[in-house]
Amino acid sequence: MTPLVGFSDWTLALLPRLFLYPGGLWMLAALIALLVAMSGRESRRYRSLLHDLTQANLLALATAWAALSLLPLPGTQPLPFPADRLSLAALLALSMLFDGPSLKREHGIAGTAITLAIIAPMSGGQALLHAGATFALADGLSLLAVAAGLAALVTEGAPSLSGGVRWLGWLGLGAAPIWHHALISNALWASLVYAFAIGAIAWVSSVVWRRTKSIIPIGAALGLSAVSLLTALLAR
Amino acid sequence: MKPTDNGTLAAPPMWIAALANLALALLQLLLFFPIVSEGRSLDLPIWPSAYFEPLFRVDGLSLTFGVAWALAAALAATSLRHAERAWPLLNVLACLISVGLLLVAYARHPLVLYLGWETAGLGLWLSLRSLREGGAPRWLPLVLHLPGVSLLLLILIGAVYPFAPPFGGAGQQWALPVVMAFALVVLLRSGCWPFGGWLREVERASGGKGTPLLGLYAMAAPYLLAKALVAAPWDALGIWVLTLSGTVVLAGSVATAVLTRTTYISVAAGAYTGAALIGFALAPGAPLAAAGAVAILLSGVLWLAAWAGVSDISATYRAPMLLMGAVPGVWLIAQGALSLRYGLAAAILLPAMLLAALAAGPTWVSLKLRHTKAKLPDTTPPPLTHHASRITYHPPPIIAIILLLLSALYPQVAVEGVLRPVVQAMAGGVSALAGVSSDWGVGMSVMSPDGVALAALPATGIGLAVFLAMVSLYWLKRLAARLLRRHAGPAPE
């Protein structure tokens, strides 16, 4: 295969992912659901969304969008050249850094905890590409850590557009072992899992952790990540 | 000297040092690239008598770092700010550092490496003294030259042999005490945790003026391990000890950045050195890790050269560029570590580099310097903070930015053109870089000997995805602005 053919195949496989599912239209629907769940319907009219778009950091948003569209969600065609978990986690981390001065210190630490949680289960294997193929205890702990980190990110209110897309990307990466389950085989199931996760995390962050500072979910995310890492190392 | 708009003095002409270093980089390429590109190496000088060992060695490793350091020194010279005092001397001293580093890069005999390092240290100390009154603490010469004493002792007792692959096969392994001494020298010279105090204090004392030179000096330290791998590997215990040291340094550096007050150069030097230490530690068992360590060191040198002197609005991109440049190296080391079953090192690399990048960002640093303002003298300019009222445009060196972007978006070039010859040069301690394959259209992958894909980094493909998303967002943003204006109605008269 020549480099040009490889590039062409990649581009053809990328376009539906980028503009339909999991990026593009599906991403927009999921983002609206996330913003509504986090801040209520009234504050999320379409004018508010347009205003957010005009104020958005395009580079951070585009990087998060690209990461989301490359996720191995159910119902997507496999990419001709796969992207391993570390590459996607790095892309989402990069998106967070592009947010630059607008990024709060707590959000930076929460993002680091989520990145550690995503990477932790793969320390039990021997390849970056095969991480998450089967569901192990470390994967479950990692998923809980990601959920705690995501709750920390929305404790103080709805995220920005780039933060929201990144949130969806982190959720998709953290839930990678779930996507391999035989029952969850298409985009509808993936959407249901996302809807449930958004609702559950929104409820936890608004009811359980409403009166606490984000330090508690961040601490939970870091602790669970460390336990997940330890479990993966011991299970090898 | 003419005052600028913000009241500081204009930088004096440091272009002499910059041009001299650029010329050095070009000269090395002209002289040695034809030899290295054919996969050969050259020992110099060729003595008439067989009684003397050659002093210098030209191979892929030495050429790569010789050119990278000369280029970084040129960029660092252009970044030296507020050097209103004794600028002719400063030009000479900046060149002295380069000469010292070139001796280190091309050393074949350990004594040449030692002398080169001491020369670079001397140049750094004198430069910091020239840059600013009190810019170099009294204890600095001791800190710079003391680690060299242990190296000199090892050389004198014959524990360190020439940095050249043994004739006709694998050489003897480095003894564990020597490996540990190497690691200690690297940690002391790079100024990373737990020895980061001197780097932090010197940077503060120089008011941020000496940052580019300090960064260059610190990032040269782990090269000692690469040189050692040219001659011989370390055994399994050596791998374990060095990996543990690297992991502790990496975790300690970023934890310090979160929990205490520090400067971004200390954080970056600690993170880069820790990651490189892990990579070089694993190198005898995993050539991927050796390639990753070299990639990390090169990106570290370029990053520091690009951003060390930047203190204004351009500093916003300091953090993402750190991670972007480091990702290919982190990816290579992580896969190398997994293949040797060092899962902990593989797992913490990316989060640690992310935290280091966050800590190197302008908001994080300015927060800390606000706390430490009382410690700085009144004449100190606010060099590392991002104040809206003081925004001046001081563009980072574009060459370093282009190279960092290229390494992030098209790492295939770096792997095939730089890392493969460099790993080949470490023939005494590292086997050939066989597992990595480059798809020139999309990215890189790592294959197992039986053809199973172990890791895949579609960096170019990801770059395309980000570009397409960016173009779409640009037009959507314009459309959104137009719709908002229409809803707002005509502006009141």
Nearest chain A CA: its distance from B285 CA (Å): 14
Mean pLDDT is lowest, of A32-36, A198-202, B9-13, B406-410, for: B9-13
* Whether residue B189 has pLDDT greater than 60: yes
Percent of chain A surpassing pLDDT 70? 92
Each residue's pLDDT tens digit, B95-138: 999 999 999 999 999 999 999 999 999 999 998 888 766 667 88
> What is the structure's pLDDT at A46?
75
pLDDT at B376 over 50: no
Tally the residues of chain A. Answer: 236
Cβ neighbours of B38 (radius 10 Å): 8
Q: Give the pLDDT confidence score for residue A165 in this predicted structure.
A: 95
Chain A residue numbers with beta carbons less than 8 Å from the beta carbon of B483 are: 50
Tell me the pLDDT band of B39, cut-offs 50, 70 and 90.
confident
Count of residues making up chain B: 493
pLDDT category, B415, cuts 50, 70, 90?
very high
Strand pairing partners for B446?
B436, B455
Higher pLDDT, B381 or A170: A170
Measured between alpha carbons, how far is residue B18 from residues A112, A163, B78, B208, B293 in Å? 38, 41, 6, 19, 27
Nearest to B258 among A63, A109, A111 (CB): A109
Q: What is the DSSP string of A187-209?
A: HHHHHHHHHHHHHHHHHIIIIIS
Task: Report the range of poorest mean pLDDT among B355-359, B369-373, B465-469.
Answer: B369-373
Is 80 exceeded by the pLDDT of residue B370? no
Instruction: Tell me the C-alpha distance between B282 and B278, whole Å.
Output: 6
CB contacts under 8 A, A 90-149 vs B, are 90-91, 93-94, 96-98, 100-101, 103, 105, 108-109, 111-113, 115-116, 119-120, 122-130
- Inspect the interface and report whether the beta carbons of A62 and B470 lie closer than 8 Å: yes
Q: What is the pLDDT of residues A162-206, one digit of tens each?
A: 999 999 999 999 998 888 877 888 899 999 999 999 999 988 887
- d(Cα B253, Cα B408) in Å, to the nearest integer? 24
Q: Is B473 on the interface with A (CB under 8 A)?
A: yes
Strand partners, B438: B444
In this structure, of A26-35, A60-69, B367-376, the range with the lowest mean pLDDT score is B367-376
Burial of B75 from C-beta contacts in 10 A (0-12 / 13-18 / 19+) = buried
Residue A190 structure tokens? 């993936």
Q: Where are the alpha helices (DSSP H) in A70-128?
A: 85-98, 105-119
Interchain contact, B442 vs A59, CB within 8 Å: no
Residue with the bigger pLDDT between B273 and B401: it is B273
- Once rounded to an integer, what is the mean pLDDT over residues A140-160? 87
pLDDT at residue B391, as a whole number:
39
pLDDT of amino acid B49: 54
Q: Please provide residue A158's backbone torsions phi and psi, each rounded to the nearest 5 degrees.
A: -65, 145
> What's the mean per-residue pLDDT of chain A?
88
More confident position, A96 or B135: A96
In this structure, are residues A113 and A174 in contact, taking their beta carbons and an 8 Å threshold?
no
Question: In chain A, whose CA is at the least distance from the CA of B474?
Answer: A58
Each residue of B323-337: pLDDT tens digit? 999 999 999 999 999
pLDDT of amino acid B1: 42
More confident residue, B423 or A43: B423
Listed range (B143-157, B160-174, B327-341, B464-478) with the worst mean pLDDT: B160-174
CB distance B408 to B427 below 8 Å? no
Q: Which residue of A lies nearest to B338 if distances are taken between CA atoms?
A: A126
The whole model's pTM is what? 0.91
Q: Note whether B61 and B230 are within 8 A (CB).
A: yes
Question: What's the pLDDT band for A210 if we cut at 50, 70, 90?
Answer: low
The reply to whether residue A83 touches residue B462, judged by beta carbons under 8 angstroms, is yes
**B338 token code pair:** 């997994």
- Residue A205 is predicted with a pLDDT of 81
pLDDT-derived band at A95, boundaries 50, 70, 90: very high
B146 token code pair: 């003391």
At B365 the pLDDT is 55
Chain B nearest-CA distance from A188, in A, is 24
Instruction: With residue B44 as reference, give the H or E element that holds it.
Output: strand B42-44
For residue range B423-437, list pLDDT tens digits in order.
999 999 999 998 899
Measured CA to CA in angstroms, residue B394 lies from B253, B381, B398, B400 at distances of 28, 15, 11, 14
pLDDT, tens only, B247-278: 999 999 888 887 876 677 788 888 999 999 99
Rounded Cα–Cα distance for residues A166 and A56 (Å): 13
Pick from B278, B457, B471 the residue to mutate for testing the A interface (most A CBs within 10 Å): B457
Does A3 contact chain B (CB < 8 Å)? yes
> How far, in Å, CA of A196 to CA of A190, rounded?
10
Alpha-carbon span B320 to A7, nearest angstrom: 26
Q: Give φ, ψ of A222 to 5 degrees.
A: -65, -45
d(C-alpha A179, C-alpha A190), whole Å: 8
Give Cα B171 to chain centroid, integer Å: 29
pLDDT, position A89: 96
Q: Inter-chain contact A56–B473, Cβ cutoff 8 Å?
A: yes
> What is the share, in percent, of chain B residues with pLDDT greater than 90?
55
Instruction: Say yes or no for a CB contact (<8 Å) between B469 and A66.
Output: yes
Contact residues, B window 310-369, toward A, CB-based 8 Å cutoff: 316-317, 319-320, 323-324, 327, 330-331, 334-335, 338-339, 341, 343-344, 346-348, 350-351, 354-355, 357-358, 361-364, 367
Task: Using alpha carbons, select from B275, B293, B295 the residue that is nearest to residue B459.
Answer: B295
Do A65 and B331 make contact, defined as CB atoms within 8 angstroms? no
Which DSSP letter does residue B39 get?
T
Query: Which residues face B443 on adjacent strands?
Result: B439
| Mean per-residue pLDDT over chain B, rounded | 84
Closest CA to B407 of B277, B268, B298, B244: B298
Number of CB pairs < 8 Å for A and B? 217
What does the alpha-carbon distance between residue A217 and residue A201 come to, in Å, rounded to a whole number? 11
- Residue A7, chain B, CB below 8 Å: the answer is yes
Q: What is the pLDDT of residues A117-147, one digit of tens each?
A: 999 999 988 899 865 556 788 999 999 999 9
Q: What are phi and psi of B443, to 5 degrees?
A: 170, -150
Q: Which of A93, A100, A128 sits opposite B334 (nearest CB)?
A: A128
Tell whether the model's pLDDT for residue B7 goes beyond 60: no
Q: Tell me the mean pLDDT in the region A34-59.
A: 81
Could you tell me which residue, B396 or A7, shows the higher pLDDT?
A: A7
Nearest-by-Cβ selection for A236 from B343, B357, B477: B343
pLDDT at B2: 44
Identify any residues that bridge with B58 across adjacent strands, giving them in sequence order: B42
Question: pLDDT value at position A112?
Answer: 94
